[in-house]
Amino acid sequence: MAEPVGADALVFAGVSKVFGAGRARITALDDLSLAIKAGRVTGLLGPDGAGKTTMIRLAAGLLRADRGRVHVLGQNITKTARAVQQRIGYMPQRFGLYEDLTVQENLDLYARLQGLARAGRLARYAELLKLTALGPFRARPAGKLSGGMKQKLGLACALLRIPEFLLLDEPTVGVDPISRRELWHIIAALRAEGVSVLVSTAYLDEAERCDDVVLLDRGRALAQADPAAMESALQGRCFRVTHPTTPRRALQQTLLAQLPVLEARLDATSVHVLLAPDTTPPDITGAAWQGVAARFADVFVDRLHARRPAHARAEATAPATPRESEVVLEVRGLNRFFGDFHAVRDIEFTVKRGEVFGLLGANGAGKTTTFRMLCGLLPASSGSLLVAGQNLLKAPAEARRQIGYVAQKFSLYGTLSVAQNLAFFAAAYGLRGERRGRRLAWAEEEFELGPFQAMNAGDLPLGYKQRLALACALLHEPPILFLDEPTSGVDPLTRSEFWQRINHYAAAGTTVLVTTHFMDEAEYCDHLLLMSLGAALAAGTPAEIRAAAASAENPDPSMEDAFIALIAAHEQTIRRAA
Amino acid sequence: MWGRLIALIHKEFLALLRDKASRFVLIGPPLIQLLVFSYAATFDLSNIAFVVVNDDPGLAGRQLLARLTGAPSFHEIATLPSTDGIAAFIDSGRALMAVHIERDFTRDLLAGRPGPVQIIIDGRNSNTATIALNYANDIVLAFAADWAASHGTAPPPASLITRAWYNPDLLSRWFVVPGIVGLLTFVVTILVSALSVVRERESGTYDQLLVSPYRPWEILLGKAIPGFLIGGAEAALITAAAMLWFRVPLTGNPLALALGLALFLISAIGIGLMISALAATQQQGLLGAFLFLVPAIILSGFATPIANMPVAVQYLTLMNPMRYLMVILRGAFLEGDGIRALANQYWPLAVLGLASMTTAAWLVRRRMY
Amino acid sequence: MNGRRLAGLITKETLQIFRDPSALGIAFILPLFLLLLFGFGVSLNAEHVPIGVVADHPNPTTDPLVAALRHSRYFEVRPLAGLGPARDLLSRREIDAILWLRNDFARQTLTEAPATIGLIVNGTDANTARLVQGYVLQAWMIWLAQQNQAAARPLGLSVALQFRIWFNPALRSQDYLVPGLIAIIMTLIGALLTALVVAREWERGTMEALMAAPVTMAEILAGKLLPYFVLGMGGMALSVALAVFVFAVPLHGSVLILALASALFMLVALGMGLLISSLARIQFVAGQIAIVVTFLPAFILSGFVFDIRSMPAPVQMITRILPARYFVSILQSVFLAGDVWSVILPDMAVLAVMATFFLGVTLARSRKRLD
């Protein structure tokens, strides 16, 4: 490739990067060549392990390429790392904040490191604190900020000296929807000032906010284009499918079993389908097909040739008729205090057999605390909890056979192999003889764990860790399944595959209680409880919640819009009360 | 039910032994410590460097010096013309001791008067100084007795004959090596058990266990039994090394030793599990183990006798299981003790074991939330 | 080095030290804890050793010997009726030694044939046994002198042995343990604490942000080094004050030399800590390595408790590569002997070389990159 032109903020020319050695060799970037134009916002998307973080770190001069050249703002980063670092801003995945230092002290540190003169500093602080609305929290330690505030502080630290080129590594992970929106407003404002931005993200809808998108997979660039152009390339392949009698979830199962269907996602009231190129909609009696515009999620699935889970290809299971009357989980007047901190306030809900029930909210909303109380891992301060008619905290150990549990971060024995983990959980739940063999074989086949049997659970790719955790939780065929943030940190493809599985088990009669901070996953649940700051914001079916947030200017809000509207309303009531 | 418990124990072993780092913690440091302690932790002086100033022209002075240089523990490095040069050798640490035989030594001896000899010792390390002093004293007394015998002067009215029971040659190693059996068993057992619960809590698998049909006591046993087996194996291995490699005789009843070790392991595991239940992270667990181990080892009688400690501290050591184990180990190895002779060590260990395990069980249950 | 950037890093590090109780704990509480533990808990001077005295026929000749033992602060005399019960007590560890004056003792002392006094010690603890033996020997010699004077006959003991113990005439074990302990404490502050705080920056992802900022690696290292150097010297000052004022260890040498040697050793320890943290980026692993390669050897092989001169030759060779060995030697000399240049200069030279080596290797190894 020729020497970089002035109009490119970042140029990769034949860049390769390999980590580790011997058997543990991982090729993060494989002969990657691309150019990122100056003055634009470029999104970096791809599944886990695609090389997004490696690429951003190479651009920040934190890694050295094994082969190839990296030019940032026209300078070779290997030769002039420090000169380049004066001109760029970089925010690492975990924001790079000193948690025991206050907001102001963090700003002071990075201002000095950027070499800002004292005089210029104060004016810049004022601007940044205004931009990030952190002004009132200057004296608060960074560790005590919410996820969204940490993210904004991290950004402010990267922006102290107005950079020519801003690198953001997954800035929106685990951050609430309002903060995500605010971040994108800041990014838009920076672009208006002429700053080039490269941002990696796990949220596919964010791709649509970028001027350019780079799709990365296994260290190679699959595509680089304007997201709108990528979407319009799928013209005529996306449909909104409805059926007068079949429920959405059953319809989705049926659709997924059809060959030309690449992807079927649950939408507000219908199923969104992406067909393989040059195919026609399969014939399903009663189904209404309506052509719709593609979304970026479709582009992602199309370009990455999603591998579909085994059972989806098999015959779709006929949904067991849910005995609507039977209440499996019942929570009344639930409260939990940690010292003075009121973590969960007066939560109430019931879950019926065969339902998928979602607890939604940003990090720190009290979802996990509620969840742990339900599993009997944490006593409630007040209120009643019944799981299959019992309080698990006090019930005899045998009652816990009723539940399967997948913890946050897929807690398994990392130094035990996949087979050893499965064998241990089989024994822990007292599986013996023929049943043990049958269930272990089922787990291996259902979750395609065969090739990984001898691998340590800790070394599995993230998606497979999630599968193994689910397999361990389902070995004893529990009627109730508890899932705590099962999709956090997992790429969009794995998330969609995961939800297909969950729908499958729910259809077969398993009751599922799940927490998530992805608002779009709300559509997969039958009933929801939206939480914020420990309190319930709204409860009901996804349609009911969206309807409650509908307004004149937004008659058909997405779940994220609904959440933001509800939070705004909630905060107003709190303010009025105060 | 037993199947489930065995699965729990099996899992614990796999988790400990499959991981390179934790396998190293079990095997590496104990081995290094065994070697280093056994060879380096000694108070025996084998090479006392000394300088000589002999102002005595006579025979007796030369005879006394010959005895000193001939003694295996002494090593003459210089003969100085005058006492002025002594300071340079002692100050720089090149010599531990200076022997000054005064001018009238032979004359006085022949005249039946005590001949004057002066010994100067570097007291910076008081223990080394005391031992060197005793060695020198022995040699000079022996010379005096022989001189008296051969020259017909009156012998001293009495002689002192010393016998050391259980360790006739007074080898430090015989004292240190049995102590190491206890020390390493203690360290490994505490580390294994102190990290066991908190490691699972940190990785989130502890919740996974708590939502399974395991009962709290099963989980506790599942943690305690692997610690017991590993501690026991470690103890057996080091005992074998002590006997076969370091040649320390096991004169007492091996069963008495085994019983003592078993009781000790229970109390050590109880303490380890207590630390583990209180710690929120592995690092806290490690720090807790360290903060417990250092005083427990120092105040156990491993290196310095408990009798030398202030009385208040001596009472404190009654709560230290290591203290009883030290007596059991040395009793069984060197003093030929059997079960009955050690009964007074067993029951406090049993009490401590019961107390620590109960507390651990209570803490583990409480810290489930 | 840019002053503004360095000042920023130092301010940050200082604020963190004061916010994080564990750093202050390692720097100030731990020294206190260890000094009190060793100062009060560990003594190699046996005092009040229980000794059984079996005098088959007590009489005026033996009384002074028993009295000499009784008046010695080293012994606690228990008169016993016979050798049988005495043996029992010894095997039950209720007494540590038996002094046996046979029934014919008094008669024999009057005859030509020398009488024998039997001393039986429990040899299990060889060191204590030797101390007991030495103390009895001293008591016995005093008694001999008295006997001879009383009898007005020539001394049976033909050599007048005179001991002069330099530097620590009372042979107090605290006087050498406490200065040595300071080396252990400085190792903990310098190596363990530094290794942990750098690893913490890696773990929390702040190192990544630092490296992406336009600072040099030398500035990052200096930003760690200076605050912990000050902290370590603070811990040192505390330890010296405790040693002198609480444990009454004499300080014969000059405070300046002490400070200079400590500063050099602190640099070595910090260099080791930084080097460890450049190898291990997880606090758990860094802590383990720091304990195994710096703390344990400093504890056992530095001459702090166990005299290096007593170790086998190969082990003595190993101790030569341990920085703590040189610092312990300086400390014991400066405290007890004074400014002995023949010890201090060579030891300080070695420390200076080691400091240069560790800091140099760390600087050379540290690249401003994550791989």
Q: Does C316 touch chain A (CB under 8 A)?
A: no
Which residues are paired to C78 by β-bridges?
Answer: C52
Chain A: residue whose CA lies nearest to C211: A62
**Could you tell me if residue B98 is inside a domain?**
yes
Least confident interval from A297-306, B58-67, C140-149: C140-149
Q: Does A18 touch chain C (CB under 8 A)?
A: no
User: A288 with A238, same domain?
Assistant: yes
User: What is the rounded distance in angstroms from the CA atom of residue A177 to the CA atom of residue C356?
Assistant: 53
Which residues are paired to C79 by β-bridges?
Answer: C53
Q: What tokens appear for C264 in the block?
A: 């050099």
User: B245 with B346, same domain?
Assistant: yes
Q: What is the pLDDT of residues C258-291, one digit of tens each?
A: 999 999 999 999 999 999 988 887 777 788 788 8
pLDDT of residue A145: 82
List, as one string, the DSSP characters of C117-186: EEEEEE-SSHHHHHHHHHHHHHHHHHHHHHHHHHHTS--S--EEEEEEEES-TT--HHHHHHHHHHHHHH
Could C303 and B165 be called an inter-chain contact, meaning their C-beta atoms sit closer than 8 Å? no
User: B80 with B185, same domain?
Assistant: no
Least confident interval from A536-550, B61-75, B238-252: A536-550
**Could you tell me if residue B164 is inside a domain?**
no
Could C343 and B137 be called an inter-chain contact, meaning their C-beta atoms sit closer than 8 Å? no
| Residues 217-256, chain C, touching B (beta carbon < 8 A) | none
Q: A437 or B46: whose pLDDT is higher? A: A437
**Could you tell me if residue B167 is inside a domain?**
no
User: What is the rounded distance in angstroms from the CA atom of residue B277 to the CA atom of residue B366?
Assistant: 9
**Could you tell me if residue A2 is inside a domain?**
no
Q: Please give the share of chain B, as a percent, with pLDDT higher than 90.
A: 29
The yes-or-no verdict on residue A173 having pLDDT over 80 is: no
Mean pLDDT of B39-68: 87
User: B184 with B298, same domain?
Assistant: yes
Question: Domain total for chain A?
Answer: 3
Residues of B in contact with C42 (CB under 8 A): 298, 303-304, 308-309
Burial class of residue A123 in the structure, from the number of CB atoms within 10 Å of its CB (0-12 exposed, 13-18 middle, 19+ buried) = exposed
Question: Where does the pLDDT of residue C157 fall: very low under 50, low under 70, confident under 90, or very high at 90 and above?
Answer: low
Mean pLDDT of A124-142: 88
Q: What is the pLDDT of residues B247-282, one digit of tens each?
A: 899 999 999 999 999 999 999 999 999 999 888 887
Nearest-CB residue to A113 (from C19, C215, C369)? C215
Please give the radius of gyration of chain A, using alpha carbons only, rounded to the nearest integer: 25
Is the CB of residue B299 less than 8 Å from the CB of residue B317?
A: yes
User: A240 with A216, same domain?
Assistant: no
Strand ranges for chain C from DSSP E? 49-55, 75-80, 97-101, 115-122, 159-166
Mean pLDDT of B272-293: 86
Q: Please give the share of chain C, as a percent, with pLDDT higher than 90.
A: 24
pLDDT of residue A70: 93
Burial class of residue A573 in the structure, from the number of CB atoms within 10 Å of its CB (0-12 exposed, 13-18 middle, 19+ buried) = exposed
| Residues 165-204, chain B, touching A (beta carbon < 8 A) | 203-204
User: What is the rounded distance in angstroms from the CA atom of residue B288 to the CA atom of residue B279?
Assistant: 8
Residues in chain C: 371
Q: What is the DSSP letter of C368?
A: S
Question: Where does the pLDDT of residue B31 fall: very low under 50, low under 70, confident under 90, or very high at 90 and above?
Answer: confident
Q: What is the pLDDT of residues A19-47, one digit of tens each?
A: 876 666 788 899 999 999 999 999 999 88
User: B115 with B188, same domain?
Assistant: no
Residue B170's H or E segment, with its range, is none
Could B213 and A401 be called an inter-chain contact, meaning their C-beta atoms sit closer than 8 Å? yes
Question: Where does the pLDDT of residue A575 fall: very low under 50, low under 70, confident under 90, or very high at 90 and above?
Answer: low
**Could you tell me if residue A368 is inside a domain?**
yes
User: A351 with A459, same domain?
Assistant: yes
User: A358 with A386, same domain?
Assistant: yes
Interface of chain A toward chain B, CB-CB under 8 angstroms: 372, 375-379, 392, 397-398, 400-401, 403, 405, 407-409, 411-417, 420, 423-425, 427-430, 432, 456, 472, 482
Highest mean pLDDT among A387-396, C104-113, C162-171, C317-326: C317-326
Within a 10 A sphere around the Cβ of A566, how many other Cβ atoms? 18
Q: Does A64 touch chain C (CB under 8 A)?
A: yes
User: B182 with B143, same domain?
Assistant: no
User: A246 with A100, same domain?
Assistant: no
Q: What tokens appear for B93 in the block?
A: 């640490």
Q: State the angle between helix axes of C126-151 and B126-151 in degrees (0 to 180), rounded to the nearest 10.
A: 40
Q: How close A10 comes to chain B (CA, Å)? A: 39
Which of A82, A112, A168 has the most C C-beta neighbours within 10 Å, making it the best mutation to test the interface with C? Answer: A112
Is the CB of residue B179 less than 8 Å from the CB of residue B262?
A: no
Highest mean pLDDT among A1-15, B326-340, C69-83, C99-113: B326-340
Which among B116, B151, B186 is the end of a domain? Answer: B151
Q: How close B4 comes to chain C (CA, Å)? A: 32
Residues of C in contact with A100 (CB under 8 A): 15-16, 19-20
Q: What is the pLDDT of residues B135-159, one digit of tens each?
A: 888 888 888 878 877 876 666 666 6
pLDDT of residue A2: 40
Which residues are paired to A342 by β-bridges?
Answer: A337
Question: Where does the pLDDT of residue C240 fall: very low under 50, low under 70, confident under 90, or very high at 90 and above?
Answer: very high
User: B317 with B180, same domain?
Assistant: yes
Residues of B in contact with A416 (CB under 8 A): 11, 14-15, 18
Could A427 and B369 be called an inter-chain contact, meaning their C-beta atoms sit closer than 8 Å? no
**Could you tell me if residue B27 is inside a domain?**
yes
Which among B120, B151, B182 is the end of a domain? Answer: B151
Domain containing residue A260: CATH number: 3.30.70
Q: Does C116 touch chain B (CB under 8 A)?
A: yes
Give φ, ψ of B75 to 5 degrees: -145, 110
Which of B17, B195, B203 has the most A C-beta neighbours within 10 Å, making it the best mutation to test the interface with A? Answer: B203
Domain containing residue A108: CATH number: 3.40.50.300
Q: How close C280 comes to chain A (CA, Å)? A: 15
**Could you tell me if residue B35 is inside a domain?**
yes
Highest mean pLDDT among A300-314, C156-170, C353-367: C353-367
User: B212 with B63, same domain?
Assistant: no
CA quadruple A520, A523, A528, A531: dihedral, nearest 10: 10
Instruction: Write down the residue that tokens 């939560």 correspond to.
Output: A347
User: B286 with B218, same domain?
Assistant: yes
B298-329 exposure pattern, b = at least 16 Cβ within 10 A, e = fewer: bbbbbbbbbbbbeeebeebbeebbbbbbbbbb
**Could you tell me if residue A3 is inside a domain?**
no
User: B181 with B212, same domain?
Assistant: yes
Burial class of residue A109 in the structure, from the number of CB atoms within 10 Å of its CB (0-12 exposed, 13-18 middle, 19+ buried) = buried
Residue-range definition of the domain harbouring residue A498: 327-577
Chain C: residue whose CA lies nearest to B135: C134
Sign of CA dihedral C228, C229, C232, C234: negative
Q: What tokens appear for B30 in the block?
A: 């104990």
Residues of A in contact with B213 (CB under 8 A): 397-398, 400-401, 428-430
User: B357 with B326, same domain?
Assistant: yes
Q: Does C199 touch chain A (CB under 8 A)?
A: no
**Could you tell me if residue A524 is inside a domain?**
yes
User: A379 with A263, same domain?
Assistant: no
The yes-or-no verdict on residue A115 having pLDDT over 50 is: yes
Q: How close A139 comes to chain B (CA, Å)? A: 28
Residues of A in contact with B205 (CB under 8 A): 411-413
**Could you tell me if residue A399 is inside a domain?**
yes
**Could you tell me if residue A13 is inside a domain?**
yes
User: A215 with A333, same domain?
Assistant: no
Confirm whether the ipTM is greater than 0.95: no
pLDDT of residue B351: 96
Q: How close C1 comes to chain B (CA, Å)? A: 35
**Could you tell me if residue B81 is inside a domain?**
yes
Q: Please give the share of chain A, as a percent, with pLDDT higher than 70.
A: 94
Q: How many CA atoms, within 13 angstroms, populate the side-chain half-sphere of residue C78?
A: 18
User: A357 with A262, same domain?
Assistant: no
User: B216 with B147, same domain?
Assistant: no
Mean pLDDT of B291-307: 85
Q: What tokens appear for A307 in the block?
A: 């591998």
Is the CB of residue B332 less than 8 Å from the CB of residue B254?
A: yes
The yes-or-no verdict on residue B68 having pLDDT over 80 is: yes
pLDDT of residue C33: 86
Q: Does C370 touch chain A (CB under 8 A)?
A: yes
The yes-or-no verdict on residue A309 having pLDDT over 50 is: no
The three-point CA angle C194-C200-C205 to 5° equals: 140
Residues of C in contact with A142 (CB under 8 A): none
Question: Where does the pLDDT of residue A316 fall: very low under 50, low under 70, confident under 90, or very high at 90 and above?
Answer: very low
User: A355 with A246, same domain?
Assistant: no
Domain containing residue B82: CATH number: 3.40.1710.10
Q: What tokens appear for C157 in the block?
A: 């003991």
The yes-or-no verdict on residue A315 having pLDDT over 50 is: no
Could B308 and C343 be called an inter-chain contact, meaning their C-beta atoms sit closer than 8 Å? no
Could A96 and C209 be called an inter-chain contact, meaning their C-beta atoms sit closer than 8 Å? yes
Is the CB of residue C270 less than 8 Å from the CB of residue C225?
A: yes
Q: What tokens appear for B162 in the block?
A: 């010393």
pLDDT of residue C357: 96
Q: A252 or A54: whose pLDDT is higher? A: A54
Could C8 and A105 be called an inter-chain contact, meaning their C-beta atoms sit closer than 8 Å? no
**Could you tell me if residue A322 is inside a domain?**
no
Q: A197 or C91: whose pLDDT is higher? A: A197
The yes-or-no verdict on residue A310 having pLDDT over 60 is: no
Does residue A470 sit in helix, strand or coil?
A: helix
Q: What is the pLDDT of residues C105-131, one digit of tens each?
A: 656 555 555 667 888 888 888 888 888
Could B163 and C162 be called an inter-chain contact, meaning their C-beta atoms sit closer than 8 Å? no
User: B186 with B129, same domain?
Assistant: no
Nearest to C192 by CA among C223, C232, C226, C221: C232
Please give the radius of gyration of chain B, using alpha carbons only, rounded to the nearest integer: 28
Question: Domain total for chain B?
Answer: 2
User: A266 with A389, same domain?
Assistant: no
pLDDT of residue A33: 93
Residue A283: CB partners within 8 Å, gap ≥ 6?
none
User: A255 with A350, same domain?
Assistant: no
pLDDT of residue B263: 96
User: A140 with A81, same domain?
Assistant: yes
User: What is the rounded distance in angstroms from the CA atom of residue A269 to the CA atom of residue A267?
Assistant: 6
Q: Does C60 touch chain A (CB under 8 A)?
A: no
Chains that touch B (3 or more CB pairs under 8 A): A, C
Q: Does A259 touch chain C (CB under 8 A)?
A: no
Domains and their CATH numbers in chain C: 3-42+173-365 (no CATH), 49-151 (3.40.1710.10)
User: What is the rounded distance in angstroms from the CA atom of residue A214 to the CA atom of residue A42?
Assistant: 7
Q: What is the DSSP letter of B1?
A: -
The yes-or-no verdict on residue C341 having pLDDT over 60 is: yes
User: What is the rounded distance in angstroms from the CA atom of residue B94 to the CA atom of residue B99?
Assistant: 14
pLDDT of residue A217: 87
Q: What is the pLDDT of residues A331-362, one digit of tens each?
A: 998 999 888 888 888 999 999 888 899 998 87
Instruction: Write down the residue that tokens 């319009």 correspond to.
Output: A232
The yes-or-no verdict on residue A249 having pLDDT over 80 is: no
Give φ, ψ of B257 to 5 degrees: -65, -45
Which among B87, B122, B151 is the end of a domain? Answer: B151
Highest mean pLDDT among A66-70, A306-310, B89-93, B280-284: A66-70
Mean pLDDT of A533-553: 84
Which among A230, A251, A284 is the end of a domain? Answer: A230
Residues in chain B: 369
Q: What is the mean pLDDT of chain B?
A: 86
User: What is the rounded distance in angstroms from the CA atom of residue B250 to the CA atom of residue C133?
Assistant: 25
The yes-or-no verdict on residue B309 having pLDDT over 60 is: yes
Rounded to the nearest 5 percent, the helix, strand and coil shares of chain B are 70, 10, 25
The yes-or-no verdict on residue A314 having pLDDT over 50 is: no
Residue-range definition of the domain harbouring residue B134: 48-151
What's the one-letter identity of residue B227?
A: G
The yes-or-no verdict on residue C255 having pLDDT over 90 is: yes
**Could you tell me if residue B69 is inside a domain?**
yes
Nearest to A162 by CA among A136, A135, A186: A186
Could A411 and B212 be called an inter-chain contact, meaning their C-beta atoms sit closer than 8 Å? no
